């Protein structure tokens, strides 16, 4: 299907890899001495991390696990989502009908060059009882990639409103969409009249999936348009592809709104993937005269691995190229793995390179190298187990 290369299905793919680099970035902000820099850290030893626009619990759980467990950071993790975007339920179509849809989704996302197999899929139902989308996942570089199919409804892509529809899939989904929305209406009526809930034969329903998934990992959900800072700690506000959801000429206004509650010494991290120059911006809220203003302290090109950082007590910028050191580390890991497992470089180079290029957003140091190597080994072991 050629449309997959020209028309996107979603505004942002939900891939944990895209957030994993935040760990090395925060470590660098906390421990500049590890990289040989004699300067005060911008991030204190205990902080609150506010993850804005969390649509899937598993992605926030993966990032919290990286920060709290792998890096052993003293972090209080909070997730936020717009109230209207918090799903009421996830609904699975069970049995052979569900398998038929799964195969149709796989056909839709495959191309003549790449065949993809869909591992899971389900309907997403919003607070109004409407089927808002179909969410599905497939494997890519050892990660689950989650995407949403909006059934022809428009969505934002790189600041532009676009729409995509697959008639064959729409025809398969139509009857179940009607049944699910009718079932949701019966649920609401039964709840209002305090009657027993209706039967969901042929379906499996998970209620409030976002809140429950986050709560299982000790993450609090703020259902709000304006994230509320956590008192008593330095806050890191993380906008992971949040601004991609708005037209370009409206992003500045929404950025001001989303960051309105941040205070002096807080950090704001803005990640923009899926654009011509994917990047991460880091802002520090510092006092100047009688007020507090944002200062850009990092800019990272996540494609070329160029890092620009402001020198302390100076307006000058320093440029760091991560690519040579990351490439050298990739080569060393590939050689070690091939020698110890008796496999060819072509079998492992792509996977190791992908992991390390997505992991490092600051100069590699002992702590970040160790975790990156562990993750690369985990991915390769998972590949071997599947073979």
Given 269, 300, 321, the domain boundary residue is: 321
> Are 72 and 220 contained in the same domain?
yes
Q: What is the CATH number of the domain that holds 230?
A: 3.40.50
> Are 136 and 55 contained in the same domain?
no
Share of the chain above pLDDT 70, in %: 92
Tell me if 263 is assigned to some domain.
yes
Q: What is the band of 365 on the pLDDT scale with cuts at 50, 70, 90?
A: very high
Q: Cα(55)–Cα(144) distance, rounded to whole angstroms?
A: 15
Q: Which domain holds residue 358?
A: 325-386
Tell me if 353 is assigned to some domain.
yes
> Are 224 and 186 contained in the same domain?
no
Q: What is the band of 198 on the pLDDT scale with cuts at 50, 70, 90?
A: confident
Nearest of 19, 99, 119, 96 to residue 61 by alpha carbon: 19
> Are 202 and 216 contained in the same domain?
no
DSSP tag of 362: S
pLDDT of 15 reads: 52
Q: Which pTM value belongs to this model?
A: 0.89
Per DSSP (E only), the strands in the chain are 46-52, 74-81, 89-93, 118-125, 131-140, 143-149, 155-157, 160-162, 203-207, 220-223, 234-240, 267-272, 279-288, 291-301, 306-310, 317-321
Is the predicted pLDDT of residue 145 greater than 80, yes or no?
yes
Given 304, 321, 338, the domain boundary residue is: 321
For the chain, how many structural domains are there in total?
Answer: 3
Tell me if 344 is assigned to some domain.
yes
> Are 120 and 140 contained in the same domain?
yes
**What are the pLDDT digits (tens) for 241-270?**
889 888 889 999 999 999 999 999 999 999
pLDDT of 6 reads: 40
> Are 114 and 63 contained in the same domain?
no
> Are 302 and 222 contained in the same domain?
yes
> Are 221 and 289 contained in the same domain?
yes
- Averaged pLDDT of the chain: 89
> Are 288 and 246 contained in the same domain?
yes
Given 164, 187, 207, the domain boundary residue is: 207
Q: Cα(258)–Cα(255) distance, rounded to whole angstroms?
A: 5
Nearest of 259, 299, 278, 234 to residue 25 by alpha carbon: 299
pLDDT of 5 reads: 34
> Are 262 and 195 contained in the same domain?
no
**What are the pLDDT digits (tens) for 279-336?**
999 999 998 888 899 999 999 999 999 999 987 777 789 999 999 999 999 999 999 8
Torsion of CA 35, 38, 39, 45, to 10 degrees: 60
């Amino acid at each position: 299907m050629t449309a997959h290369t020209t028309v996107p299905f979603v505004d942002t793919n939900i891939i944990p890899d895209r957030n994993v680099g935040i760990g090395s970035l925060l470590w660098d902000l906390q421990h500049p001495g590890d990289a040989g820099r004699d300067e005060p850290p911008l991030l204190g030893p205990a902080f609150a991390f506010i993850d804005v626009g969390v649509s899937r619990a598993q992605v926030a759980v993966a990032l919290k696990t990286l920060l709290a467990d792998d890096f052993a950071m003293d972090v209080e993790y909070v997730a936020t989502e717009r109230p209207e975007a918090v799903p009421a339920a996830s609904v699975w179509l069970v049995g052979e009908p569900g398998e038929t849809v799964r195969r149709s989704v796989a056909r839709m996302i495959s191309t003549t060059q790449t065949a993809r197999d869909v591992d899971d899929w389900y309907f997403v139902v919003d607070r109004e009882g409407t089927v808002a989308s179909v969410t599905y996942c497939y494997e890519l570089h050892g990660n689950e990639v989650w995407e949403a199919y909006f059934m022809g409804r428009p969505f934002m892509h790189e600041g532009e409103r676009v729409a995509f529809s697959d008639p064959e899939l729409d025809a398969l989904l139509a009857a179940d969409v009607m049944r699910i929305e009718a079932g949701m209406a019966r649920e609401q009526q039964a709840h209002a009249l305090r009657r027993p809930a209706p039967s969901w034969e042929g379906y499996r329903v998970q209620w409030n999936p976002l809140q429950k998934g986050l709560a299982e990992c000790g993450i609090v959900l703020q259902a709000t348009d304006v994230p509320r800072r956590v008192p008593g700690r330095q806050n890191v506000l993380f906008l992971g592809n949040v601004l991609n959801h708005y037209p370009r000429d409206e992003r500045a206004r929404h950025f001001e709104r989303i960051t309105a509650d941040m205070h002096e010494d807080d950090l704001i991290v803005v990640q923009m993937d899926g654009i011509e120059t994917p990047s991460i911006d880091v802002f520090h809220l510092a006092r100047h005269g009688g007020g507090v203003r944002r200062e850009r302290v990092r800019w990272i090109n996540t494609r070329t691995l160029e890092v620009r950082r402001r020198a302390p007590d100076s307006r000058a910028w320093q440029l760091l190229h991560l690519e040579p050191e990351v490439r050298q580390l990739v080569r060393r890991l590939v050689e070690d793995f091939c020698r110890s497992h008796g496999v060819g470089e072509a079998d492992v180079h792509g996977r190791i390179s992908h992991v390390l290029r997505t992991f490092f957003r600051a100069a590699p140091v002992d702590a970040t190298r160790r975790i990156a190597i562990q993750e690369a080994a985990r991915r390769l072991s998972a590949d071997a187990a599947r073979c």
